[in-house]
Amino acid sequence: MEDKMKEFLSNNDLDIFEPHSGHEDRFLRKLEQPKRKGISFQWLSVAASVVLLIGFYFGTQFSTKSEFSIEDISPEMGETQMFFVNAINQELREIEKYRTLDTETIIEDALDDIEELEEHYQNYVKDLQFKGNEEQVIQAMVTNYQQRLKILQSLQSLLERLKNPTNQNIEFNETI
């Protein structure tokens, strides 16, 4: 190890001389000088954020004004939609209480079914938008909501049975 160190020092030209006169004074003056302010990009980032927020605001304003509303075609359907959306959201909140590693796949499978029904519903909305107030389309939309709610209620029932299997056995034995 010592040989390698000596070899390194002998092969490399190291600066072992004293700095030029006045080096320390120049160094201290540079430390005391006020820092030069370069271009500050902080104000630019704030301005960009403001522009983005304004863009999102106007984007949502224009999209909601031109967006199709079911209530425009059928006020009763708007009320029905609100009822089902609230009921489905309530069921989803209840189901989330049962989410564990054991129930994850069961819940995700049911949510996939709900998602598929949502895609069908969006097709019904398009049909309603182009065809107008057609009773068959509106009935299909209501049935779609009923199917979603039925899936969620069945899922919740299954999750309750999985959570408390002993209670289900007692009820089963009582009915026999």
79 assigned to some structural domain: yes
Per-residue confidence (pLDDT) for residue 172, from 0 to 100: 47
State whether residue 15 is helix, strand or coil.
coil
Q: How far apart are CA 138 and CA 50, in angstroms?
A: 42
Give me the number of domains the chain comprises.
Answer: 1
Per-residue pLDDT tens for 101-159? 888 888 888 889 989 999 998 888 888 777 766 788 888 888 999 999 999 999 999 98
Question: What DSSP state is assigned to residue 12?
Answer: S
- Encode pLDDT of 30-57 as tens digits: 888 877 666 665 655 666 666 666 776 6
Q: In this predicted structure, what is the pLDDT of residue 149?
A: 92
3-state SS of 20-51? CCCHHHHHHHHHHCCCCCCCCCHHHHHHHHHH
Q: What range defines the domain where residue 88 resides?
A: 67-175
Task: Determine the Cα–Cα distance for residues 75 and 81; give it in Å rounded to an integer.
Answer: 10
> Which phi and psi angles does 4 have, rounded to 5°?
-65, -40
Report if residue 170 sits inside a domain: yes
Q: What is the pLDDT of residue 116?
A: 92
Mean pLDDT score of the chain, rounded to an integer? 77
Residue partners of 144: CB distance under 8 A and separation at least 6: 117, 120, 121, 124
- Tokens, residue 10: 């002998």
Q: Is residue 45 part of a domain?
A: no
State residue 8's pLDDT score. 80
Report yes or no on 30 lying in a domain. no
CB atoms within 10 A of CB 128: 21
At 75 the pLDDT is 77
**In this model, does residue 7 exceed pLDDT 80?**
yes
Model confidence, pTM: 0.54
In a domain, 103, yes or no: yes
